[in-house]
Amino acid sequence: EGDIQYERGENHLFFEVGGRVLISRMIDGQFPAFERVIPKGNDKDIEFERERLTSAVKRVALLSNERSRAVKFSIEAGKVEVTSSSSEFGEAREQLPVDYTGGAMTISFNAQYVLDFLNVVQTDTVLLSLKDEVSQAVMKPVGAQGYEYTYVIMPMRT
């Protein structure tokens, strides 16, 4: 509550709110071209129930390799099988029904990176958008009101 005072110096921004001052230095260089990292040609879209995908990845990741934390998504028409394996502990697999009619493919991700996205999304449905097994994928919330964001996730070679 209250007024915010703002001033701009040569290389700094000054904000004063309720007796507190926030000083921020302005970036001198060019901001990285983040648009180049976001893939444009992802033509395979798969929608998941967020809670089911979160639970599946958590369970399967328990048996993933401790160093890589890799979980594999085997995608076929009508289903995605989430698997992991470790020479020490064995193999885990869980099948999720999905509405997908494209060609079969297999892609692996670091389980923690998938869970980082799923743990903050508040929508019931999430979208995984892919092109192939080696290109970056995109995860997005479906039906989010008032905000939209894109989560780029790199595949792992397994």
Picking from 124, 128, 123, the residue whose alpha carbon sits closest to that of residue 145 is 123
pLDDT of residue 34: 79
pLDDT of residue 119: 95
Residues paired with 69 in a beta bridge = none
pLDDT of residue 146: 78
Whole-number Å distance between alpha carbons of 157 and 126: 24
- Token reading at 7: 């001033």
Picking from 87, 46, 51, the residue whose alpha carbon sits closest to that of residue 66 is 87
DSSP-derived pairing of the beta strands 125-130 and 137-142: antiparallel
pLDDT of residue 80: 97
Residue 118 scores a pLDDT above 80: yes
pLDDT of residue 137: 96
Confidence of residue 66 (pLDDT cuts 50, 70, 90): confident
Contact 85, 63 (CB under 8 A): yes
Model confidence over 70-97: pLDDT tens digits? 999 999 999 999 999 988 889 999 999 9
Cα–Cα–Cα angle for 127, 112, 101, rounded to 5 degrees:
30
- Of the listed ranges 11-15, 40-44, 110-114, 142-146, the least confidently predicted one is 142-146
Confidence of residue 13 (pLDDT cuts 50, 70, 90): very high
- Token reading at 99: 């509405």
